[in-house]
Amino acid sequence: MSKTIMFLYAMTLFLFLLHIEKSSGVLIDCKTVKDCPPSYTKIYRCIDNKCRLVL
């Protein structure tokens, strides 16, 4: 039982880190802010012709 829980924990952690890496490494070309993807939880701005996440 404990080995199963540890396996599920390790898989969850691995997949979470993989998701973070995939979502943060992509820069989309843009000319205006409207070229950036819409999102309710993140704010993207067109800076140096790339969509960048703004905090």
**Residues whose CB is less than 8 angstroms from the CB of residue 32 and which lie 6 or more positions away in sequence, other chains included:** 46
Q: What is the pLDDT of residue 5?
A: 92
CB 52 within 8 A of CB 28: no
Q: What is the pLDDT of residue 40?
A: 85
Q: What is the pLDDT of residue 28?
A: 86
- Please tell me the distance from the alpha carbon of residue 41 to that of residue 27, in angstroms, as a whole number: 17
- Please tell me the distance from the alpha carbon of residue 32 to that of residue 25, in angstroms, as a whole number: 20
Q: What is the pLDDT of residue 4?
A: 92
Q: Note the pLDDT tens digit of each residue in 7-52.
A: 999 988 888 876 665 555 568 899 999 999 888 888 889 999 998 8
- Please tell me the distance from the alpha carbon of residue 3 to that of residue 47, in angstroms, as a whole number: 47
Residues in the chain: 55
Q: What is the pLDDT of residue 35?
A: 92
